[in-house]
Amino acid sequence: MEIWQSRFSALDLKMNINVSARQIQQSDVVADMRQAMDNHGLSGDSLSIEITESLFMENTQSSFILNGAKVNLRIQISVDDFGTGYSSLSYLKNLPIDNLKIDKSFVSQLAKNHVDASIVQAIISLAHCLDLTVTAEGVESAEELSMLYAMGCERGQGYLFGKPMPPEAIELLLAAQSRMAEAGLDISEWGAAIRWPALPGIARSPDPLSGPPIDP
């Protein structure tokens, strides 16, 4: 990550890290995070940790630990798989959350079921009322992307944007996005998904190695 931030300075690169209940229960977890960040030359602004709803409800100490990470390290906090855990919403106002990630089970039915579409729109509206951003998980079609964009969803992840790939493929993808940024084009997840097909010579996700070669 440190190397990519240096090579592709035109991009605002961030990394999301899944944190388990076992890790969050460790008393020195914030110190460990700080040490790892120092070792790799990363700032908290470029990191976000993802926690499930159930962890918030089952571990009463998690709010204090996460608040410490947010205040001391400036790390952002995301709620993963939102909508599939506990029904209580009280933690949304009591915990230091920045982002809600809508579970893919709702996104996959977005264009097929009006109930799922209504739930997704409600989650987005709720998040925005609380000054939170929203990420849609499991975006796999242009139709889903179009609907989410119209609903005001800021971010998306899924096979429409890219499948798991090795480091060398990620570098090609970052090189393409860096060229787009330097050309003044929109390199947000939505913008990149919309613009890539029209850019000759730039590989398009999900398989950046299948297109014309790019010189990083």
**Cβ distance 91 to 77 under 8 Å?**
no
What pLDDT does residue 100 have?
A: 93
Please report, as a single letter, which amino acid is at residue 20: S
pLDDT value of position 107: 95
Mean pLDDT taken over the chain: 80
pLDDT above 90 for 23: no
The string of pLDDT tens digits covering residues 155-208 is 889 988 888 889 898 898 889 888 888 887 766 666 555 544 433 343 333 333
Which CATH number does the domain 2-160 belong to among 3.20.20.450, 3.40.190.10, 2.60.40.10, 3.40.50.150?
3.20.20.450
Secondary structure, 3-state, the chain: CHHHHHHCCCCCCCEEEECCHHHHCCCCHHHHHHHHHHHHCCCHHHEEEEEEHHHHHHCCCHHHHHHHHHHHHCCEEEEEEECCCCCCCCHHHHCCCCEEEECHHHHCCCCCCHHHHHHHHHHHHHHHHCCCEEEECCCCCHHHHHHHHHHCCCEECCCCCCCCCCHHHHHHHHHHHHHHHHCCCCCCHHHHHHHHHHCCCCCCCCCCCCCCCCCC
pLDDT of 125 over the 60 cut: yes
Check pLDDT > 90 for residue 134. yes
Residue 190's pLDDT is what?
61
Distances (CA, A) of 53 to 115, 140, 162, 211: 22, 24, 26, 39
Is residue 86 very low, low, confident or very high in pLDDT (cuts 50, 70, 90)? low
The string of pLDDT tens digits covering residues 88-100 is 677 787 778 899 9
Give the pLDDT score at 163.
Answer: 84
Tokens standing for 208? Answer: 């950046």
Mind listing the pLDDT tens digit for each residue in 29-73? Answer: 888 888 988 998 888 888 888 988 777 666 667 777 777 888 888
Indicate the domain borders of the chain.
2-160, 161-216
Per-residue model confidence (pLDDT) at position 59: 66
The mean pLDDT of 22-35, rounded to a whole number, is 82
How high is the pLDDT of residue 191? 59
Residues 6+ apart with CB under 8 A from 187: 11, 177, 180, 181
Check the CA dihedral 5-8-9-15 and report its sign.
negative
Please check the confidence at residue 87 and state whether its pLDDT lies above 70: no
